[in-house]
Amino acid sequence: MLLVLSVGLLSQSGPVFAQGNEEKAELARRVMELYKQEGYLEKAFEGAVRNVPAGQKEAMEEAISKTDQDAIYAGWAEKIEELFTLEEIKAYLDYASTDLGRSNLRKSTELNFAMQEVLVLEILAGMSED
């Protein structure tokens, strides 16, 4: 049965695969919409500004103000599409649509930034020791 399905799909022209790719791309964009709703980039930018030396904060804020957040999210969506299978993306979206999944997304976002902050502070402390 699987062989018949595989041969059937391979004998089709591109639209069968294109349709799957379009669905995958759309679902990857939906994942990024969840991150957007949680203010992922805003939190990342706040952490970046908080962790730069005082004399560079203004330059960092100016650079951030010039970023195209939609382009960043689109790039991340492309990466999700590249790294994950269609089934994995669907499963993630199913989970993320639950209260537990949304809570997990919020907390994992906060955890990621806390881990990055600790890492940056340790690196800066190591640099100041030299």
pLDDT category at 10 given cuts 50, 70, 90 is: very low
Check pLDDT > 70 for residue 16. Answer: no
Alpha carbon separation from 57 to 49, 117, 118 (Å, rounded):
6, 15, 18
pLDDT of residue 53: 82
CA neighbours closer than 13 Å in the CB half-sphere of residue 90: 6
Check pLDDT > 50 for residue 4. Answer: no
Check pLDDT > 80 for residue 110. Answer: yes
| pLDDT tens, residue by residue, 61-107 | 999 999 999 999 999 999 999 999 999 999 999 999 999 999 998 89
Whether 48 contacts 65, CB under 8 Å: no
Check pLDDT > 70 for residue 3. Answer: no
Type of residue at 36: K
pLDDT of residue 119: 84
The whole-angstrom separation of Cα 1 and Cα 71 is 42
Phi first, then psi: give them for residue 13, nearest 5 degrees. -75, 180
Dihedral sign, Cα of residue 15, residue 19, residue 22, residue 24: negative
